[in-house]
């Protein structure tokens, strides 16, 4: 474990390439409107802890908006156009999300981005995502745009081999990560979400992190 540690952004900042074609956009977006939109999405398509093919449940709760939604069960991982939980199509991607995804993709070097899927992840304290790569999309020439909202989390970028030492970035509220091209199939993970120091036990926002990952699924 001797990968480079990018730590925390100093402020709204210039794009930083943490690895070839993996661009970090610190404090790129104001997140209050995004949270409201997430609440509306979750009212139509509730968060759920998906079952993985081996049988366990993910610690991260998920839902989707868009034409396609990412789904997992005993049969495997795939995109579905009807929410298996509700029997209805996924809610549409809000126009503000599409605009954000396109602006971020362009800042990361991928102009003209039009995603058709947006996975919404919700992390409670202790939730984590093991090393994986996003590999269920048809056109791997399209980038992924990932937006972080709420509590900070340590994101690990391994790249081509999950055994390589990872680069580490603390993703904070409003940070965006864009990757594509040679990095599109890279391995990555999110460390177990930590409770903030001095967290008020009763008042204040729920101690959560949300992540939006936009993809072109089909």
From the list Fe ion, ligand MD6, none, partner contacted by residue 61 (C-beta under 5 to 8 A by kind): none
Residue nearest ligand MD6, CB atom distance: 146
129 binds, among ligand MD6, Fe ion, none (CB under 5 to 8 A by kind): ligand MD6
Q: Given the rule CB under 6 A, which residues bind ligand MD6? A: 121, 129, 134, 144, 146, 155, 177, 188, 190, 211, 213
Give min distance, CB of 173 to ligand MD6, in A. 13
121 contact choice in ligand MD6, Fe ion, none (CB below 5 to 8 Å, kind-dependent): ligand MD6
- CB of 156 vs ligand MD6, minimal distance in Å: 10
Which candidate, 74, 62, 164, 76, places its Cα nearest to that of 122? 62
Task: Give the nearer residue to ligand MD6 in terms of CB position, either 45 or 213.
Answer: 213
Whole-number minimum distance, CB 13 to Fe ion, in Å?
23
Residue 137 found at the interface with Fe ion (CB under 5 A): no
- Shortest gap between Cβ of 213 and Fe ion (angstroms)? 6
Which does residue 146 touch among ligand MD6, Fe ion, none (CB within 5 to 8 A, set by kind)? ligand MD6
B/e letters for 25-54, b = 16+ CB within 10 Å, e = fewer, are bbbbbebeebeebbeebbeebebbebeeee
Q: Among 101, 128, 124, 126, which Cα is nearest to 112's?
A: 101
- In angstroms, the CA 158 to CA 162 distance is 6
Give the closest residue to 155 by CA, choosing from 178, 188, 108. Answer: 188
170: nearest Cα among 10, 1, 34 = 10
Toward Fe ion, which CB reaches closer, 40 or 192? 192
CB 114 within 8 A of CB 102: yes
> Can you point out the beta strands (E) in 87-128?
117-124
**Closest approach of Cβ 12 to Fe ion, in Å?**
25
Instruction: Please identify, using beta-carbon distances, which residue of 45 and 149 lies nearer to ligand MD6.
Output: 149
Strands of 60-207, DSSP E:
61-66, 69-73, 76-80, 117-124, 129-132, 144-150, 153-159, 167-171, 176-179, 187-190
134 part of the interface to Fe ion, by CB under 5 A: yes
Give the nearest distance from C-beta 118 to Fe ion in angstroms: 13
Residues of this chain that interact with Fe ion (CB under 5 A) are 134
């Amino acid at each position: 474990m001797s990968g480079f540690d990018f730590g925390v952004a100093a402020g709204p900042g210039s794009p930083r390439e943490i690895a070839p074609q993996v661009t970090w956009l610190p404090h790129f977006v104001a997140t209050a409107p995004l949270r409201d939109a997430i609440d509306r999405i979750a009212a139509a398509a509730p968060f759920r802890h998906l079952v993985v093919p081996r049988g366990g449940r993910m610690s991260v709760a998920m839902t989707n908006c868009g034409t396609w939604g990412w789904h997992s069960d005993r049969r495997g991982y795939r995109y579905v156009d009807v929410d298996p939980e509700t029997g209805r199509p996924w809610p549409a991607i809000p126009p503000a999300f599409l605009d954000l995804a396109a602006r971020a993709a362009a800042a990361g070097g991928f102009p003209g981005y039009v995603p058709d899927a947006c996975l919404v992840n919700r992390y409670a304290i202790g939730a984590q995502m093991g090393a994986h790569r996003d590999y269920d999309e048809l056109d791997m020439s399209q980038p992924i745009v990932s937006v972080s909202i709420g509590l900070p989390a340590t994101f690990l970028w391994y790249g081509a081999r999950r055994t390589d030492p990872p680069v580490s970035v603390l993703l904070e509220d409003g940070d965006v990560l864009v990757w594509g091209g040679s990095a599109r199939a890279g391995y990555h993970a999110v460390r177990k979400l930590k409770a903030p120091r001095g967290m008020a036990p009763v008042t204040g926002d729920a101690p959560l992190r949300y992540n939006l990952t936009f993809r072109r699924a089909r």
